[in-house]
Structure 1
Amino acid sequence: MTQECCNTPRWNRENWPIAAAMINFPGVLPDGSLVQEQSVDQWAETLQQVVDAGFTELDPTDSWLRVADLSPSRLREFQYVVKTLGLTIPAISTTRRSSVIDPDHADEYLAYNHRVIETAAAIGAKAVSFGLFGQFTEEQKKRLWFWTADGVKNPDDAATYQKAVTRIRELGKHAAEYGIEVSLEMYEDTYIGTADGAVRFVNDVDVPSVGINADIGNLVRLHKPVEHWSAMIDKIVPYAKYWHVKNYMRIEDPDQGIYLSYPTSLALGIINYRIAVQKAIACGFKSAFLCEHYGGDGLTVCGMNREYLRTILPR
């Protein structure tokens, strides 16, 4: 599958959909109850914070709420809350529910991902984001920053790789039936954990509705050598679809073997998003953005990042 660059922006800086990620809100509450089981009023209380941060779009990230597992009546209730608050949902992101690598849950997650596609169509979302990364390890759960410990790796064998290609192709064809794009999130130690690997994987899937979630923030934060952000962007932007954006400060001293990072805003981090976004749009990028941030008041930082994006998008 080849993709040509062409400058055809779909929106402008005033109306480009920029969603808030719900990773800043836990799916399990302090009393042990689940957001999945909350009342309409409780959902509204949380989403009001998103509105107060200036967002008109959100992504109900499934670490917070699995909208694809809501009953029809509960889904209608959730849609009512979203609409009442003046929000829209451009996309649905999944996290740590790989349909490939988990030996106990891969088939269950494949069925779940199909439900995500159908739910996205039902609520008017135009994209879904899937990943090939696994659940946190016990060591990752102990760390201040989970990316400083090794996570679950995709197996280095041809059969599992082909299984991943086949299953993502299946999901991509299903999504295409609804006019929905599938964006595959770049993440370390997966088949889409490098720019070259992501391009190869998407070309092997060979379904036009399937592209790359160019979330290279997941890579520049690693405490080890990584490819320069600009080189990665040049390779992946022709394939970019729904895009999770976040940034990190990065310090390198290869002679001392030192590689350190910490989260910061889009404008201040190592990735120059002014250049990255302009290159993507020049290659025909016309999907929504999702603002993510780890640490501190992540929702407020996401709001700052939204306003920064507005300044660099086309007039």
Structure 2
Amino acid sequence: MTAEPRRWTRDNWPIAAAMIQYPNIMGDGRSVQDQSVEEWAETLADVVDAGFTELDPTDSWLRLADLAPVRLESFIELVHSLGLTIPAISTSRRSVIDAEKGDEYLAYSHRVIDTAKTIGAGSVSFGFFEPLTEAQKQALWFWTVDGAKNPGDSDIWNKAVRRIRELGRHAEELGIEVSLEMYEDTYLGTAQSAVRFVEEVGLPNVGINADLGNLIRLHRPMEHWQEMMAKVAPYAKYWHVKNYTRTEDPASGVIVTHPAPLESGIINYRAAIRMALAYGFSSPFLCEHYGGDGLSVCASNRDYLRRILPRDQGHQP
């Protein structure tokens, strides 16, 4: 079973706020998992005040799949009471091939898919990136320090393919799409590798989360964003969007990047989105931004997306 093609315009395209600006552990040591509905409401009020009608809880903030049924129901009632919907659920740093917790994260990922069905979300995002190292946590921008790398081991690659195929088949039965997040030094760390991976998985509901921002922010040589997008556009599904400035000095080899609004960074999202639309892209977007008032920057990015998305449904196949 696969979902029916969605037909959206710039006025109603689901564009969600990410919750990466908000910690999972509060100042008093409590987890967001244990907060009251009223405390959740205080946080979500920020999202509403920023003008969003969609959010992705992002499990770095709240693990919906680990809430007891009554708690999940209370959260969703709150979300709806605030005029919000959840079009997708993203996971972060819970790789199903993690050397220590891969089996645990695989079971968790299945729960994420079931939870998506329960709450009416049509997309889930998984990735192979792992928890930040201590050195990354100490850095101003964590991506300037190398983190964990997926092993160059064909057996682990094949295990990753099998596990994502397993998740993909589960999701397919429920009419949900699976989007695999591009991230450095993982099996989705280049456009070529990401395409190879989803082709080996071989399911129509499993595609690529073309989060090129995760790659162009790196202080290392990088394939041009346009070349990457041309490769992954046919496979694009639920899409995390963010942008960065990038300066390269060929003489010294110095590369410097910095978070930027979508319309101001090095990736031309007007062009990138048109590439994906040409292949029938019809998935939600998630606005992310690191640094400063990330939620407000995301709100501006949402407005930018609404200006450049199609006026009508004529682009759909």
1:120-159 map, 5 Å: 120-159=116-155
Q: Which runs of 4+ in 1 moved over 4 A?
A: none
Shift of 1:283: 1.1
Quickly say closer, same or farther: Cα 1:130–1:209, change in 2 above 3 A: same
Q: Paired residue for 1:95?
A: 92
Percent identity, aligned pairs only, is 66
Query: Which of 242, 246, 269 is the equivalent residue of 2:242?
Result: 246
Question: What is the aligned partner in structure 2 of residue 16 from structure 1?
Answer: 13
**Pairs within 5 Å for 1:152-231:** 152-231=148-227
- Aligned match for 1:279, one of 275, 278, 296: 275
Deviation at 1:254, TM superposition (A): 2.2
1:29 maps onto 2:26 in alignment:
yes
**Which whole-Å deviations, capped at 9, do the CAs of 1:98-129 have from their partners, x for residues lacking one?**
011x2211000000000000000000000000
Cα contact 1:99–1:167 (8 A) shared by 2: yes
* Residue matched to 1:85: 82
- Give distance in 2, aligned partners of 1:143 and 1:311: 35
C-alpha deviation, 1:20, in angstroms: 0.2
Residue by residue over 1:6-30, the C-alpha shift from the partner in whole angstroms, topping out at 9 and shown as x without a partner, is: xx87210000000000001111111
- Corresponding residue pairs, total: 307
Q: 2:115 aligns with which of 108, 116, 119?
A: 119
Q: Which residue of 1 aligns with 2:265?
A: 269
| Paired letter, 1:166 | R
Q: Deviations over 1:114-146 (max 9, x none)?
A: 000000000000000000011111100100100
> 1:95 is aligned with what amino acid?
S
Aligned to 1:3: none
**TM-score when normalising by structure 2:** 0.96
1:108 to 104, 107, 119: 104
**Aligned counterparts of 2:7 and 2:278: Cα–Cα separation in 1:** 12
Match status 1:43 vs 2:40: yes
1:45 CA displacement: 0.8
Q: Deviations over 1:50-75 (max 9, x none)?
A: 00000000001000000000000000
- Displacement after TM superposition at 1:282 (Å): 1.2
The secondary structure found in structure 2 opposite 1:74 is helix
Contact 1:114 1:171 (8 Å CA) reproduced: yes
- In the alignment, residue 281 of structure 2 is paired with which amino acid? F
Give the equivalent residue in structure 1 for 2:289.
293
The 3-state SS of whatever aligns with 2:251 is helix
Counterparts of 2:195 and 2:250, CA distance in 1: 28
For the residues of structure 1 that align with 2:247 and 2:26, how far apart are their CA atoms? 35
For residues 228 and 135 of structure 1, the distance between their equivalents in structure 2, rounded to whole angstroms, comes to: 27
2:280 aligns to what SS in structure 1?
coil
How far apart are 1:255 and its partner, in Å? 2.1
Structure 1 segments unaligned to the other structure (5+ residues)? 1-7
SS of the equivalent of 1:256 reads coil
Give, in whole Å, the separation in 1 of the partners of 2:308 and 2:53. 19
* Conserved? CA contact 1:126–1:181, under 8 Å: yes
User: Which 10-residue stretch deviates more, 31-40 or 292-301?
Assistant: 31-40
Paired AA for residue 240 in structure 1: A
Identify unmatched segments of 5+ residues in structure 2. 312-317
CA distance in 2, matches of 1:270, 1:196: 21
Aligned position for 1:259: 255
CA distance, structure 2, for counterparts of residue 88 and residue 38 of structure 1: 20
Distance 2:173 2:161 in 1: 19
Deviation at 1:278, TM superposition (A): 1.1
Cα distance in 2 for partners of 1:260, 1:31 equals 37
Report if the CA contact (8 A) 1:9-1:284 is conserved: no
Aligned AA (1:209): N
* Aligned residue in 2 for 1:4: none
Q: What is the TM-score when the length of structure 1 is the normalising length?
A: 0.97
Looking at structure 2, the residues matched to 250 and 17 of structure 1 have their Cα atoms a distance apart, in angstroms, of: 29
Contact conserved, 1:9 with 1:285, CA < 8 A, in 2?
Answer: no
The alignment status of 1:60 with 2:57, answered yes or no, reads yes
Looking at structure 1, the residues matched to 209 and 258 of structure 2 have their Cα atoms a distance apart, in angstroms, of 21
Q: What amino acid maps onto 2:41 in structure 1?
A: A
